[in-house]
Amino acid sequence: MSNTENHENQPTKNKKIIVTGGYGLVGQAIQTIVQQQKQKNSLGLVENQDAYLFLSSKDYDLTSMEQTQQLFQTHQPTHVIHLAANVGGLFKNMNHKVDMLEKNLAINYNVIKTAHEYKVQKLVACLSTCIFPDAVPTYPITEEMLHDGPPHPSNDAYAYAKRMLEIHCRAYRENYGDNFVCVSPTNVYGPHDNFNLEDGHVLPALIHKCFLAKESNTDFVIRGTGKPMRQFIYSEDLAQMMLTVLFSQNTPGNLILSSPEESEISIGEVATQIAKCFDYESRMRMDASFSDGQFKKTVSNQKIMRIMPPTFQYTSMEDGIRKTVEWFLNTENKRV
């Protein structure tokens, strides 16, 4: 089957698509792509923009079963992209383990169980490549390795809650034939990210740090040697992948959503590109007294590329970082 044949013709006709966590980093990127594609009608995925409903925790607190049922009863979704989660960087993962475990278990249990009760036709639930085993026999990491060993101890609470989400979706597929699938994005970055220095992920936190260093005329200090390698994906590239998965037929139970293996980049290089955007490279330095964490965790993007349309192109790191820095500098109401 070709990539084009694999997609539905009028994907949003007679559909109600809800996006939980619709105002976070990934949810906002899906909103952007839905608006862009409505204007261009490019991938033909959104001819009916009204089919989409983006939700915040202010609309429904999904840790509550009662509110989750209210959501499904009121909106009767046919399709769900489930992004809502308690998410954070290293500090939050290590210092708020109980919250990361309990809130994510509760949100996921409520959403998946209720989606089954309301006979949702397709649900795409979000995992993460950071929940894969800490030690793997070979790189790249593939979808099949998800449960093959413990996650890194720093984020085990978050990781096991997310792994249960995969088991939960699989159980409904196997016992009831529900079309509930999972996707595992690699490190995401882009506009609307959380730029908080303690709670945020590495790339937005570095942008914020560089901004503050320049403002106070101090060094831009990167913790560790800068040598660890990471794969990043620009949030709008990820959004296109998620919509493609939502409307593709016969998708596998878990798909890694990543940039290619060869796009892996060192944290030092990411910091350099950020410093360039601020014209502050001369004041950048590494502080090797801090530990580096895992050296690499290369993942494979082969499976998702089999279903992406041939017209799909990745955003380069240079462009993605530039757009993210511009958004950070030009947006008053940001998460810092």
* 73, burial (CB in 10 Å: exposed 0-12, middle 13-18, buried 19+): exposed
Question: For ligand NAP, which residue of 8, 16, 61, 97 counts as binding (CB under 6 A)?
Answer: 61
Question: Which residue(s) pair with 233 in the sheet?
Answer: 188
Question: For ligand NAP, which residue of 2, 9, 14, 58 counts as binding (CB under 6 A)?
Answer: 58
Q: Of 37-45, 84-92, 218-226, 299-307, which segment contacts ligand NAP by CB under 6 A?
A: 84-92
Please provide the DSSP assignment of 99-146 as one string: HHHHHHHHHHHHHHHHHHHTT-SEEEEE--GGGS-SS-SSSSB-GGGT
Q: Which of residues 24-43 bind ligand NAP (CB under 6 A)?
A: 24-27
Q: Which of 52, 109, 158, 189 is catalytic?
A: 158
Residue 243 as a binder of ligand NAP (CB under 6 A): the answer is no
What does the block give as tokens for 230? Answer: 């990471």
**Of residues 213 and 273, the one with the C-beta less far from ligand NAP:** 273
x-or-dash string of contact with ligand NAP, 257-276, rule CB under 6 A: --------------------
From its phi and psi, is residue 250 left (phi > 0), alpha (psi between -120 and 50) or beta? Answer: left
Question: For ligand NAP, which residue of 18, 30, 51, 83 counts as binding (CB under 6 A)?
Answer: 83
Residue 47 Cβ vs ligand NAP, minimum distance, rounded to whole Å: 25
Sign, CA dihedral 19-189-241-310, equals positive
Task: Compute the distance between CA of residue 131 and CA of residue 264 in angstroms, rounded to an integer.
Answer: 18
Residue 23 as a binder of ligand NAP (CB under 6 A): the answer is yes
What does the block give as tokens for 158? Answer: 């978050």
x-or-dash string of contact with ligand NAP, 185-224, rule CB under 6 A: x-xx-----x------x-----------------------
Query: Other CB atoms closer than 10 Å to residue 38's CB: what's the count?
Result: 17
Task: Compute the distance between CA of residue 103 and CA of residue 109 in angstroms, rounded to an integer.
Answer: 10
Residue 38 has φ and ψ, to the nearest 5°, of -65, -40
Task: Compute the distance between CA of residue 68 and CA of residue 102 in angstroms, rounded to an integer.
Answer: 16
Residue 99 as a binder of ligand NAP (CB under 6 A): the answer is no
Question: For ligand NAP, which residue of 86, 196, 231, 298 counts as binding (CB under 6 A)?
Answer: 86
Residue 160 as a binder of ligand NAP (CB under 6 A): the answer is no
Q: Of 52-60, 277-285, 314-322, 324-332, which segment contacts ligand NAP by CB under 6 A?
A: 52-60
**Of residues 125 and 284, the one with the C-beta less far from ligand NAP:** 125
Q: How many residues bind ligand NAP (CB under 6 A)?
A: 26
Q: Is 158 a catalytic residue?
A: yes
Residues recognised as catalytic: 158
